[in-house]
Structure 1
Amino acid sequence: MRHVRSDTITPCQLAGLAPEAFLRLLHPADARGLPNLFVKDLCPGGSGDGCPESTDPTATRVGSAEEFCLHLPSWLDCSSYVTLNRFWGRRRGDKLAALNALYLDLDFHTHSSWRGQSAEDVRDAISARLQMQGIVLPSICISTGRGLALIWLIDEMPAKALPRWQAAMDALIEFGRPFGADAACRDAVRVFRLPGTLNEKSGREVRVIGGTGLRVAFSPLADQIFGAVGRPTRKELLSRKKNKQPRRNASGQAMPQGLSARQRFGLIFQDLQKIRDHYYGSIPVGMRNNWLHLCATALAHSRPDVDLEAELLDLARQSTPGLSQREVLSVARHAVRQNRPGQERRYYYRGSTIADMLGVTDQMAQALNLEQAISDVERRRRKLAAQCAKRRVAGAKPRAEYEENSLERSAPWRAYGFSRATYFRRRKAGTLPACPNTCAQGIPYSPRHD
């Protein structure tokens, strides 16, 4: 199935789709790689591959959609999740086989504008906005029991296309912010709840409530999303890159384009320590893993020779006392594996992403004097303030001072009895009298001369 015009589709064509049909639609039989099924709270006393008896509260299955469908009835009694992309084995970034979808997780119950609304109401509202902006409607809409999940199925792309996919995900999350889009739902190893299961937090069934069922090409979909949020399309970016000239200093040498990754992540690590100090030395529950992961990533970039495991254990003892040594070592080893020099998919977090992950507000960033872990809004404000300060040093006047002393405000042509145009014409020609009182051809001022 190919890309079609979004205005020819209704948003609820797939309502009531069965779990087996959902899996087959999400992961076709001839696809590259295998999906993972993540089963939480396994049923006690089970048997066989469907629901085995185990002391492990979670288990991951790797297989095709057809294999999953054989044991699906027993898994529907548990909290089950499925990956949206496919992997060579267990779901890990370095095992990514194919990018299969773009997606949004809308926690609309946390957004004041949509709190109390149904998933169907939010689906209709965001579908209307998507059509207005010229974006194809999602392939699958899922009511997750507390929120709304939207999935755009795409023609599968190789793992090396991850940077392009990630840029499209960031733009899609920006588009979905007014509907409560989860900013953390931007990674390729994300899992979504399986339709037909129960959301243990709300007690409601997870179900498909709509979608077009279409699989679309990635590039036109990404360009539609970029255009909707005011970002350049791929063609525009390539054109800019082709025509871009490097900045040069007075001697003609090319100027550097900013901080190196090592310098930038050194500043990020300093920001993370300021955030810890803001919470009196102990990171709150709910952001401990994120904070520790960001510390590990910053250290891996800025101090590649450091013993990361020992450094992170020391940080955890001071700042995240509730985390076990096993959890801390897991974060450290993942950071070492993912941030090796030369690794194709190292983590390079934007400052706004870090601010989102740690709940850093603009007021907090200003109070703590953070340098990198700041939102895009705060970054623009600081850039504007720096530009204003630079203009002041160069002799530019503040707007109020300029307007107070401007000719438009004092209107000297009135004293001469000239029209405004005549005043500026004679001023340019150097034929203005020395004093208005000596103007030989002065006439009484009248607004019609302006």
Structure 2
Amino acid sequence: MENLKLENMEISPLDRAKRHVWIQHRGASGWITLAKKEPDGGWRQYHYQPNELAVELPKWLGEDVYFSQNTFYKPQRRIENIRQLRALYVDVDCHTIGYEPEWVVGKLDIEVFYDNILPEPNLIIFSGRGIVCVWLIEPVPYKALPLWKAVENYFYEQLSYVGADKRSLDPTRVFRIDGSVNSKSKREVVVEYRHGDRYVLRDLQYEYLPELTRAETGKKGRKGKLVRLHNIQTLHYARLLDLIRLAELRNYDLKGYRELFCFLYRYWSCCLTDDPDEALRQMIELNAGFKEPLSEKEVIRATKSAEKAWMAKNDAKANEEARKKGYPGAGYNLKNSTIIRWLDITPEEQRHLQTIIDANEKRRRKRERDRARTGELRRGQGAKTREEYLEEQRERTEDKAWQLQKAMERHPDATNKHLAMMLQISVRRVQQLKRLVKN
């Protein structure tokens, strides 16, 4: 750590901040959040495009400066606006259990990273009182959030014994920036850079979450806790996105439904972030976007039961008592029909939603899929010529061959069976594509 400090002293705090952001978000797409704690306890944040950060950073640098680890579709740091997931991270508050950050890093090197319990992080942020381990990943879109969350939770569990913070696992998280100062400890934030190779999220899943991998490939077996949790989080995220889509369809004119919208948003956000404070912040921001928002005090009071239900959902005793009464568990286990009735969602609105739909909409979609399979839609749109069809198949084959080549480069010792599992194709197809790659 002493060498690290000497090395960083040779670079100005501003240049270190620029380097930190550049390494994290080089080639990024979307909005990046810069945030700062104000002396009066307030919180200021603003959103920038990647090419604007170098110009804007000098205006921010000083005490308690943070930036987002992932990017957003619009200048709002909310879970439904995630554009690119670019990193995994675990915030280790080792000071809460009396460990020095430097000692914890040495402990993790020996007990976790050296033995490949977890891969080595790309960088470690010495935040002034604790550390943040950051694993950079090849960017993936918002649809990968449930898988990202599953891997994120696994990484947290492996570091929980040294003080990992469960409330810092949400995809909208901001962390301190290199060269800034922690006002509580008066220490300067220092980043240790270890390597620059970005990880592939699917590779991390295959290596560290085999139970989830088996479930995705359709192998039989009892579904474990991890698979059930992944499925539930996938449903929660899809419903939260549907809720926002419904608000958009109604132009955020939600009078008569505002409390219900905020209640559902707060509950599902708690389930996805495991951080009730962050879920509350995002819900307050959502409410502020309504045509006629509720007062902040009113909306917090009206939705408080959402947080209580989430806490019960994570309480073993509460879950046991709920099951004795015949419920699947504690918390809100809402049916689609209940949500549709609460929000008066029309059949036309359901056509634009992903998962909050009734039986009629499910049947309508099935009929459309059946018609597509039998070729009625294809004939109505004009059938492809043989040449177009062959060209399309050739492009698909070349794309799969390219994916295989990259997978073989990353995993030179991988068997055909392992490669097939990674690419979600058959072993026979891997053999065929290997011949194509060699030629």
Question: Deviations along 1:293-313, whole A, 9 cap, x unmatched?
Answer: 799528999xxxxxxxxxx9x
Q: Alpha carbons of 1:191 and 1:293: their partners in 2 closer, same or farther (altered >3 Å)? A: farther
After the TM superposition, which residues 118-267 of structure 1 pair with which residues of structure 2 at under 5 Å, given as runs?
118-128=100-110, 129-133=112-116, 135-226=118-209, 232-234=211-213, 236-239=214-217, 241-243=218-220
Q: Alpha carbons of 1:163 and 1:23: their partners in 2 closer, same or farther (altered >3 Å)? A: same
Amino acid aligned to 2:216: L
Q: Alpha carbons of 1:76 and 1:34: their partners in 2 closer, same or farther (altered >3 Å)? A: same
Q: Alpha carbons of 1:131 and 1:59: their partners in 2 closer, same or farther (altered >3 Å)? A: same
Q: Alpha carbons of 1:186 and 1:136: their partners in 2 closer, same or farther (altered >3 Å)? A: same
**Separation (CA, whole Å) in 1 of partners of 2:20 and 2:50:** 9
Q: CA deviation at 1:238?
A: 2.4
- Contact 1:98–1:157 at 8 Å: present in 2 too? yes
Amino acid aligned to 2:84: A
**Separation (CA, whole Å) in 2 of partners of 1:27 and 1:190:** 14
**Separation (CA, whole Å) in 2 of partners of 1:245 and 1:143:** 42
Q: Alpha carbons of 1:157 and 1:300: their partners in 2 closer, same or farther (altered >3 Å)? A: closer
Secondary structure of 1:24's aligned partner: helix
Secondary structure of 2:95's aligned partner: helix
The one of the two structures with greater contact order (alpha-carbon pairs below 8 A, sep at least 6) is 1
Q: Alpha carbons of 1:25 and 1:157: their partners in 2 closer, same or farther (altered >3 Å)? A: same
Q: CA deviation at 1:224?
A: 3.4
Amino acid aligned to 1:21: R
Amino acid aligned to 2:159: G
Which of 42, 63, 67 in structure 1 is aligned with 2:52? Answer: 67
Q: CA deviation at 1:211?
A: 2.6
Give unmatched runs, 5+ long, in structure 1. Answer: 1-10, 43-54, 247-256, 266-291, 302-311, 313-323, 337-346, 375-450
Q: 1:251 maps to which residue?
A: none
Give unmatched runs, 5+ long, in structure 2. Answer: 237-261, 272-282, 284-293, 324-328, 332-439
Q: CA deviation at 1:95?
A: 1.1
Q: Alpha carbons of 1:12 and 1:196: their partners in 2 closer, same or farther (altered >3 Å)? A: closer
Q: Alpha carbons of 1:106 and 1:370: their partners in 2 closer, same or farther (altered >3 Å)? A: farther
Question: Deviations along 1:360-406, whole A, 9 cap, x unmatched?
Answer: 5x6x769x9565469xxxxxxxxxxxxxxxxxxxxxxxxxxxxxxxx
Question: Deviations along 1:336-378, whole A, 9 cap, x unmatched?
Answer: 9xxxxxxxxxx9x9989953xxxx5x6x769x9565469xxxx
Amino acid aligned to 1:105: D
**Separation (CA, whole Å) in 1 of partners of 2:304 and 2:138:** 29
Secondary structure of 1:136's aligned partner: coil
- Contact 1:76–1:197 at 8 Å: present in 2 too? yes
Question: Which shifted more, 152-161 or 67-76?
Answer: 67-76
Q: CA deviation at 1:176?
A: 1.0
Q: CA deviation at 1:68?
A: 2.0
Q: 1:326 maps to which residue?
A: 296
1:100 aligned onto 2:86 = yes
Q: 2:66 maps to which residue?
A: 81
**Separation (CA, whole Å) in 2 of partners of 1:138 and 1:161:** 21
Secondary structure of 2:35's aligned partner: strand
**Separation (CA, whole Å) in 2 of partners of 1:152 and 1:139:** 5
**Separation (CA, whole Å) in 1 of partners of 2:60 and 2:269:** 40
Question: Deviations along 1:192-226, whole A, 9 cap, x unmatched?
Answer: 11121111222211111343233121122233333
- Pick the structure with greater CA Rg: 1
Q: Alpha carbons of 1:99 and 1:296: their partners in 2 closer, same or farther (altered >3 Å)? A: closer
**Separation (CA, whole Å) in 2 of partners of 1:65 and 1:137:** 26
Q: 2:18 maps to which residue?
A: 20
Q: CA deviation at 1:330?
A: 5.8
Q: 2:33 maps to which residue?
A: 36
**Separation (CA, whole Å) in 2 of partners of 1:181 and 1:238:** 29
1:297 aligned onto 2:272 = no
- Contact 1:296–1:331 at 8 Å: present in 2 too? no
Residues paired across the two proteins, number: 263
**Separation (CA, whole Å) in 1 of partners of 2:169 and 2:66:** 16
Secondary structure of 2:172's aligned partner: coil
Q: CA deviation at 1:243?
A: 3.4
Q: In percent, how many aligned pairs have the same letter?
A: 25
RMSD over aligned CA atoms reads 4.6
Amino acid aligned to 2:181: L
Question: Deviations along 1:7-34, whole A, 9 cap, x unmatched?
Answer: xxxx979973811100001111x32212
**Separation (CA, whole Å) in 2 of partners of 1:137 and 1:353:** 35
Q: Alpha carbons of 1:67 and 1:120: their partners in 2 closer, same or farther (altered >3 Å)? A: same
Q: 1:91 maps to which residue?
A: 77
